[in-house]
Amino acid sequence: MRLRLAGAVLLSAAAYYVYLPLPSGVSEPWKLMLLDALFRSFMQASDVAHTLGVCHRVHLLNRIVSWVEEIEARSCTAVHVADSTLGGVPTRVFQPKGGKQLKRGVIYFHGGGWVLGTNTALAFNPASKYYYHDALAASRAFLSAQVLERYSIDPERVCVSGDSAGGNLAAAVAQELSSDDSLTAKFKVQALIYPVLQALDFYTPSYQQNRAVPILYRPVMARFWLQYLGADMSLEPLLLANNHSSLDQPAISGSTRSKLDWTALLPAERKKHFRPVVKETGSPGVMGKVPQLMDVRAAPLLAEQGVLGRTPKAYVMTCEFDVLRDDGLMYVRRLQSAGVAVTSDHYEDGFHGCMVFAYLPMMSSVGQRSMNNYIHWLDQNL
């Protein structure tokens, strides 16, 4: 009897930890709850290690995530898989076997808040350079005649792509290289999967609506930004209050604010009942401490119209239950206004990171649909 009682108590505690109230429209919510419980456990373990002085929370979290997700390079009968480098950046190459025709090529930057995953295992340093520079170096190498020839890639059929923070890198790289006339090969298309594109407004409708929806919570996104930019982590509450983008910040012009004015850039069905949160007075000096918040290499949504107009045809995936939804939708609108052909692929039952649910053990309907539609778009447009 005592064993059964103890088991019931443990089961109840586990269910309490895993269960999280979610919006009714989320696809297969229990699978998202399980993933969220796992990720929360990782985050909490990393925070404890950091507090005890064992190691930096990002180092431990990155080790855990890499241990769970990273697998060795394995080839199969159809594809040769190998680890290599591009521009000095560690890269995994997937190369179809056989065939004499030139192939299409995609360079893909994975997500993880710029701090999780194999690309950050190199050395996390709060004062380090943008990973943008690594992404740019890898992309330049990818577009070089030597690499294109080595892998039999058609120079007129290449794509830059990425998800979440990787989508941020892909968008920034697309902007930079589309304006570089010294390149003999350029990207034909860009494909951005729920990208993060700005850090001046943490009160867009999607940030307000989805602040408590896993797996990307609003405070976690602010923390990721500060870690990426090498800024003081104590600034997190100021970012979450929009104190850093208050009207008394002289560094932020009216022109800059218009580039992320969601009241003008979002369709009515996304604005809903939400209202802008713009402080008259905020925290003086924040922008001086973190000037990178205004750097288009970190925040591609802030790019000038002329720069956007030179970027390639775009695919932008967004999810209803994602704090980053409006970053992507505003970018769609700005690209279209600049004359760029854009496919906006929105999932009403989707959530941040849903495309990883395309395969077992956490396969879901929205995961399969999003992955299939992404691949279909590439197949039709690249």
The token pair at 257 is 């604010």
pLDDT for res 65: 61
Distance separating alpha carbons of residues 95 and 105, to the nearest angstrom: 9
Output the pLDDT for position 352: 94
Residue 62 has a pLDDT of 64
CA dist 200 and 153 (Å) reads: 39
165-178 and 131-142 helices, crossing angle to 10°? 60
Name the token pair of 125: 């340093």
What was the pLDDT predicted at 31? 82
pLDDT score, position 53 = 73
- At residue 2, the pLDDT reads 54
Crossing angle of the two packed helices 2-18 and 29-51, in degrees rounded to 10: 90
DSSP codes joined into one string, 202-215 = S-SHHHHHTTT-SS
Global pTM reads 0.90
Helix ranges (DSSP H) in the chain: 2-18, 29-51, 57-69, 131-142, 145-150, 165-178, 205-209, 218-228, 236-240, 254-258, 262-265, 268-271, 286-289, 305-309, 325-337, 365-381
Nearest to 201 by CA among 105, 302, 129: 302
Query: Could you read off the pLDDT tens digit of each residue along the chain, which spans 382 residues?
Result: 555 544 443 444 455 456 777 888 888 888 888 878 877 777 677 777 767 776 666 666 666 666 656 678 899 999 999 999 999 999 999 999 887 789 999 999 999 888 776 543 332 233 344 689 999 999 999 999 999 999 999 999 999 999 999 999 999 999 999 999 999 999 999 999 999 999 999 999 999 999 989 889 999 999 999 999 999 999 999 999 999 999 999 999 999 999 999 999 999 999 999 999 999 999 888 899 999 999 999 999 999 999 999 999 999 999 999 999 999 999 999 999 999 999 999 999 999 999 988 887 778 899 999 999 999 999 999 9
**pLDDT for residue 81:** 93
Please give the single-letter amino acid code of residue 283.
Answer: S
Catalytic (active-site) positions: 164, 322, 352
Number of DSSP helices (H) and strands (E) in the chain, helices first:
16, 7
